[in-house]
Amino acid sequence: MFSKKFIYTLLVLFSVSLASCKKDSENTTPSGTGNISFEFDNVVGSSQLVLDSTMNTFTNSSGEKFSVTQFNYYISNIKLKKSDGTIYTVPQGSSYFLIMESNEESQMPEIHGVPAGDYKEITFTIGVDSLRSTMDISKRTGVLDPAYIAGHGMYWSWNQGYIFLKAEGMSPAAPEMMGHEFYYHIGGFGGYSSQTINNIRTITLPLPGEGATVRSNINPEVHILADVLKVFDGPKPLKIADNSMVMWSDVSLDISNNYKNMFTVHHVHNEP
């Protein structure tokens, strides 16, 4: 076999010879780092999600009309897989994001210093991993700071832990005595001293087309759709009429198993 050094030399020569080409060849090993930005675009089926309390904006698969007043979720522990199978794990400290429909800036998280490469697949957690959920308070900064989170209602102080996904809205199917409101607050990292419900869900999605081609001069934008309908529609459909309020209960497991399928990568921009 050829020595590694010989192969590298060949690669360098090869890439130099291609330097004038506009597009990097698959055989080059790009160097440097770039950024990847995301756009988490919350939709309802084929419509854009718009927050309102009209009760009849959207319809779930059970035929129930509803509207959404709040839609927030955590994305964390992002991993990116290159075409050669190697995986880049975003450093833990900068891999927690809270996406809130009411806050446009929150929907466009960015990760910095991603090694150049052609990324074909993304893996992330919906929620906050159990390790971070039990870590020292000094390690809970930014969107994990309980002070910040308690204000946004994404933390249970009485049952220490983060709310991973919060969907609230109104529906004629929700009881009148509850003001036709529905509440889904889904959390649970598995428990500290006793085993409790675990709603941590991790998903892997292909990055379509040529993937995300990170270069020092290319900062790809990954456009991800999150379909609110999938909160209701999945392995165990959620009927608002049956469960208009789900927080700390076993029904939450069905809901997280539904919404873990709500994400699709729509497209990736790789323009320099």
CB of 25 to another protein, least distance (A): 34
Q: Please, which residue, 86 or 134, has the CB nearer to another protein?
A: 134
Out of 176, 250, 271, 272, the residue judged to bind another protein by CB under 8 A? 250
CB of 148 to another protein, least distance (A): 7
β partners of residue 224: 40, 265
- The contact pattern for another protein, residues 86-115, with x = CB under 8 A and - = no contact, is ------xxx-xxx-x--x-xx--xx-----
In sign, the C-alpha dihedral spanning 124, 126, 129, 133 is positive
- Residue 251 gets the label, from left (phi > 0), alpha (psi -120 to 50) or beta, of alpha
Whole-angstrom CA distances from 5 to 1, 24, 29, 84, 125 are 11, 21, 14, 19, 39
Q: Which residue in the block uniquely carries the two structure tokens 């929150």?
A: 106
Out of 197, 203, 205, 245, the residue judged to bind another protein by CB under 8 A? 197
Paired sense of beta strands 33-44 and 110-115, if any: antiparallel
CB of 79 to another protein, least distance (A): 16
Q: Is 19 in the site for another protein (CB under 8 A)?
A: no
Q: Is 191 in the site for another protein (CB under 8 A)?
A: yes
Q: Report the candidate in 112, 120, 65 with the shortest Cα–Cα distance to residue 93.
A: 112
Angle, vertex CA 40, rays to CA 261 and CA 122, nearest 5: 60
Q: Please, which residue, 7 or 150, has the CB nearer to another protein?
A: 150
Q: Is 25 in the site for another protein (CB under 8 A)?
A: no
- The contact pattern for another protein, residues 230-249, with x = CB under 8 A and - = no contact, is ------------------xx
The number of residues that bind another protein (CB under 8 A) is 43
What stretches of the chain adopt beta strand conformation (E)?
Answer: 33-44, 47-48, 58-59, 65-82, 87-89, 96-100, 110-115, 117-126, 155-156, 161-170, 181-187, 201-206, 212-214, 221-227, 245-246, 263-269
- Measured between alpha carbons, how far is 144 from 159 in angstroms, rounded to an integer? 16
- Measured between alpha carbons, how far is 98 from 106 in angstroms, rounded to an integer? 7
Angle, vertex CA 237, rays to CA 172 and CA 72, nearest 5: 70
Helix (H) or strand (E) holding 131: helix 130-133
CB of 103 to another protein, least distance (A): 8
Q: Which of residues 120-179 bind another protein (CB under 8 A)?
A: 134, 136-148, 150-151, 155, 157-160
Q: Is 217 in the site for another protein (CB under 8 A)?
A: no
CB of 166 to another protein, least distance (A): 15
Q: Is 193 in the site for another protein (CB under 8 A)?
A: yes
Q: Which of residues 57-86 bind another protein (CB under 8 A)?
A: none
Q: Please, which residue, 62 or 249, has the CB nearer to another protein?
A: 249
Residues that bind another protein (CB under 8 A): 92-94, 96-98, 100, 103, 105-106, 109-110, 134, 136-148, 150-151, 155, 157-160, 191-197, 248-250
